[in-house]
Amino acid sequence: MKLIRLLASASTFVMVTALATTNAFAQNSDKAITASLSQKLNLDIISIADSPVPGLKQVFTNRGLFYVSDNGEFFLQARVYNITQGVEDETENALKSVRLEGVERFKDSAIEFKADKEKYVINVFTDTTCGYCRKLHNEMDQLNGLGITVRYLAWPRAGINSKVYDDTVSIWCSQDPHQAITDAKAGKPVNDAKCKNQVAEQFKFGQQIGVSGTPNIIMPDGSVVPGYQPAQALALALKDLS
């Protein structure tokens, strides 16, 4: 009996030691990958996780989602599909989670046009100089009437060092952001205003999840409508998701 207890203790020690060694290796591997990608590709690494594909890590960066081999030698910009049961887009599933976490983080700094009888919430990256963003905004009463709450996130297409960015900050800092963004999208001049804001953070988040144009509509399940859709078409798409 004593021998059995000794063998059991030894087995437990080996398992714990092996697990600790594995975890330490994984942590060191992640650190090495982070350092390599930062130095060689000038990427800011936000998170590293195992991917659905053995031998590949899933790397979320300031420029989007990528994959890298466990040894850090190979870097891929790709879509991963699981074909065991149908065709499942694993890359899109990962991005959906990232998008939803991000829009939740910016919920209090979005400019929200709330529906009285809310059924759905969409988050829209917008630029006041974008023609299709203006077209979507002109349908705000219709969207709200269909039970669709719209939360605007800032995505000045010209980048952070631009007049559009400065105007966007002024809109978010206005005493009445709803009227300010409505006026701007009608082509009226933007009055200067300054305050603590998250316009830059919202723009950078858009870059992280691959936003390349506006309007970019994030649906309640984290999927994306990359462009303008009429209010009725959005309502039908939202209904299909529910």
Q: Write down the catalytic residue from 99, 134, 151, 157.
A: 157
Is the alpha carbon torsion for 170, 173, 178, 180 positive or negative? negative
Q: Write down the catalytic residue from 130, 134, 151, 167.
A: 130
Distance CA 144, CA 163 (A): 30
- The verdict on whether 133 is a catalytic residue reads yes
Q: Write down the catalytic residue from 99, 127, 151, 167.
A: 127
- The verdict on whether 127 is a catalytic residue reads yes
Helices 199-208 and 163-173 cross at an angle (nearest 10°) of 120
pTM: 0.82
Q: Which residues contact 209 (CB under 8 A, 6 or more apart)?
A: 64, 95, 98, 99, 102
pLDDT digit of tens for each residue in the chain (242 aa)? 554 454 344 444 334 333 333 343 345 578 888 888 889 999 899 999 999 999 999 999 988 899 999 888 899 999 999 998 789 999 999 999 999 999 999 999 999 999 999 999 999 999 999 999 999 999 999 999 999 999 999 999 999 999 999 999 999 999 999 999 999 999 999 999 999 999 999 999 999 998 989 999 999 999 999 999 999 999 999 999 98
Q: Write down the catalytic residue from 133, 134, 151, 167.
A: 133
- Letter string b/e over residues 31-60, b meaning 16 or more CB atoms within 10 A of that residue's CB: eebbebbeeeeebebeebeebeeeebbbbb
